[in-house]
Amino acid sequence: MKRLFVTTAVLEVGAGLALAAFPSPAAMLLIGAPLTTPAALILARVGGTGLLSLGVACWLARNDAYSGAARALVAAILLYNVGVGVVVANAAIGMQPVRVVLWMVVVVHAAMAGWCVRQLVRKPGGGRV
């Protein structure tokens, strides 16, 4: 689980910092449109802060791979990755012109969700996956 936690920490801290510090440019990269209302900027920064929190939790759990709390964190990461994958895929399906970066986000979240499932189905303390 250590590699999963470290990978998640790096990805989510990076995304969280981008959304919290530079919400409009981050949105421009993802969806091709800036965030122009105060409400959109606030929500992006709140989301960025949430991603920072997830990343920090993963970083701090990286050496505690098989506790109940670590498995619960993996379940939360799984829920997050599935949720984001569905939301972004839904957005990408209706977006014109097609945003390749959105589909890349969907693929990354699907892969991360699969990795979480692998970690959850293996026996605690079992061999490396």
Contact 55, 10 (CB under 8 A): yes
Q: pLDDT tens digits, residue range 42-96? A: 999 999 999 999 999 999 999 987 788 999 999 999 999 999 999 999 988 987 7
Please give the torsion angle defined by the CA atoms of residues 98, 102, 89 and 50, in that order, rounded to the nearest 10 degrees: -150
Q: pLDDT tens digits, residue range 15-50? A: 999 999 999 999 998 888 899 999 999 999 999 999
Q: Is the pLDDT of residue 11 over 70?
A: yes
Residue type, 120: L
Contact 31, 102 (CB under 8 A): yes
Cα-to-chain-centroid distance, residue 119? 17
Structure tokens at 96: 């014109």
Calculate what percentage of the chain has a pLDDT beyond 90: 76
Q: How far apart are the first and last CA of the chain?
A: 8
What is the pTM (predicted TM-score) of this model?
0.87
Domains in the chain: boundaries? 2-121
